[in-house]
Amino acid sequence: MSILAELAYWQQTSLRVAAGLVAVLLPAGTLVYLYLFKMMSFMQSRLGPMEAGPFGSLQLVAEVGKWLQKEDIIPTRADRLIFGLAPFIVLMSTFLLVVVIPFGPDAFFADLPTGIYFALAVGSISVIGILMAGWASANKYSLLGGLRAAGQLIAYELPMVLAVVGVVIQAGTLNMQGIVVAQADGEIFGWGGIGNPYILTQFVAFAIFLIAVQAELTQTPFDMPVAESELVSGYLTEYSGIRFLLFFISEYATAGAFSAIIAVLFLGGWYIPGIDIDDNVFNVIGPIVMMVKIVLVSFVIFWFRFTMPRFREDQLQRLAWKVLIPLALVNIAATAVLKVAF
């Protein structure tokens, strides 16, 4: 609180909003260029964009310029108001998700006492936006895609929430900073050399959360809502130009935000072992540490995306209800018993 505490609330908030825009757009841009453009291309034995800038690094700028010039098409039969509102709601859900992510002891946007709980709550607002998009398009593909997305997102909401309970039991707090501190101060059976990053003691929860995030992002192998070969592009079929870009930004910004939440919950957040956690230097290196962890976690997410074939709808629901939810409940029970016993 050293430097920021002396500023007035509006000054602090202006700084936070500016940083928040960076925290939403920078990971989104990084993920799109690094993974969607380059990694996918290399995995398919091609080069990807090479013309705009060195190694195609300015391709993103070109893409945004292209989307800006596209004609704004709203089908005559669509419900104009809801059609227009849907991308706004999806983007807002992403921004609210980023609010709770801490990037350092003082470098946070809003330090809510119920941090992770709030994140899980606002993360599911995007379902409403997607359902609105699918319904308002007045398109058969869009309606099917919207319903599939809603069914999938609520089914995988549960394993995700239940996986977090295991972490909360270990940390004893819902606050994101508190979870980082608990991991830094933690010990694994009496050995506290690297703290206790929960990926080691909550590995089951980590695996469940990662799978659930994959489904929440509607990425392959869970991309039935936007399956090109069956539904054109699902709830996005009627969206073009800027309105599509808003969905696109929000999808990749959400991928970055969920990677950041995984980094906080399971990889120790902005803390790295070897430096005292009260050291103010974490306000400077914290964001860098977080960015590295975000890129590492999202590498795994995109790796799955480019490697796996698509599930069937019944396999998707079976995995959620018959495997992940019981597994998450067992994980909670085991964690609780161990927590009380030791």
Partner 1 sequence: MSSWPWLQSGRIGDPQTPSLGSLAVSDFLRSYLTVAIFGAVALLLAGGILSLGRLIRPSHGNAEKLLTYESGVDPTGDMWSQSNIRYYVFALLFVMFDVEAVFLFPWATRLEAYGVFGLVEMGIFILILLLGLVYAWRKGMLRWV
Q: Residues 71 to 130: which contact partner 1 by CB under 8 A? A: 71-78, 87-88, 91-92, 94-96, 98-99, 105-106, 109-113, 117-118
Q: Which is nearer to partner 1, 118 or 266 (CB)?
A: 118
Q: What angle do CA 257, 262, 263 make, to 5 degrees?
A: 95
Residue among 43 and 273 whose Cβ is closer to partner 1: 273
Rounded to a whole number of angstroms, the minimum distance from the CB of residue 284 to partner 1 is: 16
C-alpha Rg value of the chain to the nearest Å? 21
Listed ranges 35-43, 51-59, 175-183, 291-299: which one lies at the site for partner 1 (CB under 8 A) = 175-183
Least separation in angstroms between CB 41 and partner 1: 27
Q: How far apart are CA 250 and CA 126, in angstroms?
A: 10
Give the residues across from 188 on adjacent strands: 191
**Is the C-alpha dihedral spanning 267, 122, 144, 81 positive or negative?**
negative
Cα–Cα–Cα angle for 67, 71, 76, nearest 5°?
A: 130
For 104, phi then psi, to 5°, come to 170, 170
Tell me the closest approach of the beta carbon of residue 246 to partner 1, in angstroms.
5
Q: Are 214 and 301 in contact (CB under 8 A)?
A: yes
Interface residue with partner 1, options 30, 41, 57, 173 (CB under 8 A): 173
Give the whole-angstrom CA distance, residue 112 versus residue 114.
5
Of 48 and 310, nearer to partner 1 (C-beta) is: 310
> Minimal CA–CA distance to 133: which of 22, 231, 236, 266?
236
Closest contact distance (angstroms) between CB of 288 and partner 1 is 20
Q: Name which position in 47, 68, 275, 288 contacts partner 1 (CB under 8 A).
A: 68
Identified binder of partner 1 from the candidate list 17, 47, 292, 296, rule CB under 8 A: 17
Give me the 143-172 binding string for partner 1, x by CB under 8 A, dash otherwise: xx--x--xx--xx-xx--xx--x--xx--x
Footprint on residues 24-63 left by partner 1 (CB under 8 A): none
The residue written with tokens 């999806």 in the block is 90
- Minimal distance, residue 252 CB to partner 1, in Å: 15
What residues from 298 to 337 belong to the interface with partner 1 (CB under 8 A)?
313-314, 316-318, 321-322, 325-326, 329, 332-333, 336-337
| Dist. CA 111–CA 331, nearest whole Å | 28
* 183-188 long-range contacts, CB within 8 A, separation 24+: 183/268, 183/269, 183/271, 184/268, 184/271, 184/273, 184/277, 185/277
What minimum distance in Å lies between the beta carbon of 143 and partner 1? 7
Count of residues of this chain found to bind partner 1 when the rule CB under 8 A is applied: 89
Residue among 78 and 290 whose Cβ is closer to partner 1: 78
Question: By CB under 8 A, is residue 293 in contact with partner 1?
Answer: no
The CB-of-310 to partner 1 minimum distance in angstroms stands at 15
**Residues 225-284 within binding reach of partner 1 (CB under 8 A):** 232, 237-238, 241-243, 245-246, 278
User: Under a CB-based contact definition with an 8 Å cutoff, are residues 294 and 102 in contact?
Assistant: no
Structure tokens at 325: 């939810």
What is the smallest separation between the CB atom of 203 and partner 1, expressed in angstroms? 18
Start-to-end Cα distance in the chain = 35
